[in-house]
Amino acid sequence: MDTTPIPVVTQEIQIVDAQGHPRLLLSAKSGAPTIQLLDANGKVGAELSLTTDGHPLVKLSNPDATKPAAALEVDDKGAHVKFDHPDGASSYLFLNNAGGTGVVLIDTHGKRRFNAVVGADGTPRVERLGADGKVLP
C-alpha cells in the first residue's frame, strides 16, 4: 500500500475560522507565492511573499490604520527594514549589497531629513537635511 500523500494542486487556498471568516490565504494566483494572515474583518494583518524575481518581502500592517506599519525586504539593492506612518513619515535601516549600511529618517512631507551612513569602506557620514533637501551646516 502506497502511503505517499497526493498533492493538492491549485492556485489559491483560503482557510476560514469557525464562523466562516477568511483568516489565512495561500496564493500563487498572481505568479508569485503569497501567504496572508487576515483579521476577523478580512483585512491583511501580515503578509509573506516572494516577488516575481524571487526576492522575499514581509509586511506587518497595524490593526489601527492611523498607526505605523513595518516591512522587511530583500531586493536587488540589499536588505531593508522600513517603518511607515500613514501621515507620510517613515524611517528605514538598510544594508546594501556593497556592504554599506545606514539609517534614513523621512518627515511627514516625504522629505528626507536625516542620514547616518557607514560606507562599505568603513567611512561614516551623518547628515541633517533641511525641508529643501539640502544638507544643513
The answer to the question of residue 118 being in a domain is yes
Model pLDDT, residue 52: 87
Find out whether 82 and 95 touch, Cβ atoms under 8 Å: no
Q: Is residue 1 pLDDT above 90, yes or no?
A: no
Q: Is residue 31 pLDDT above 90, yes or no?
A: no
Q: Are strands 22-27 and 12-16 parallel, antiparallel or unpaired?
A: antiparallel
- 57 and 79 assigned to the same domain: no
- Distance (Å, whole) CA 104 – CA 100: 13
Model pLDDT, residue 88: 95
Q: 82: closest CA among 53, 58, 118?
A: 58
Per-chain mean pLDDT for the chain: 95
Find out whether 105 and 113 touch, Cβ atoms under 8 Å: yes
- 14 and 53 assigned to the same domain: yes
Q: 77: closest CA among 116, 59, 110, 51?
A: 51
Q: How far does Cα 103 stand from its chain's mean position?
A: 16
Domain that includes residue 96, residue range: 75-137
37-55 burial: b if 16+ Cβ within 10 Å, else e: ebeeeeeebebebeeeeee
Looking at per-residue confidence, does 52 or 74 come out higher?
74
- 32 and 80 assigned to the same domain: no
- 17 and 53 assigned to the same domain: yes
Share of the chain above pLDDT 70, in %: 100
What is the Cα Rg of the chain in Å? 20
- 28 and 81 assigned to the same domain: no
| pLDDT tier for residue 30 given thresholds of 50, 70 and 90 | confident
- 80 and 136 assigned to the same domain: yes
Model pLDDT, residue 103: 98
Share of the chain above pLDDT 90, in %: 93
Task: Cell 483568516: give the residue.
Answer: 23
- 47 and 93 assigned to the same domain: no
The domain total for the chain is 2
- 85 and 124 assigned to the same domain: yes
- 35 and 83 assigned to the same domain: no
The answer to the question of residue 68 being in a domain is no
The answer to the question of residue 1 being in a domain is no
Rounded to an integer, the average pLDDT of 116-125 is: 97
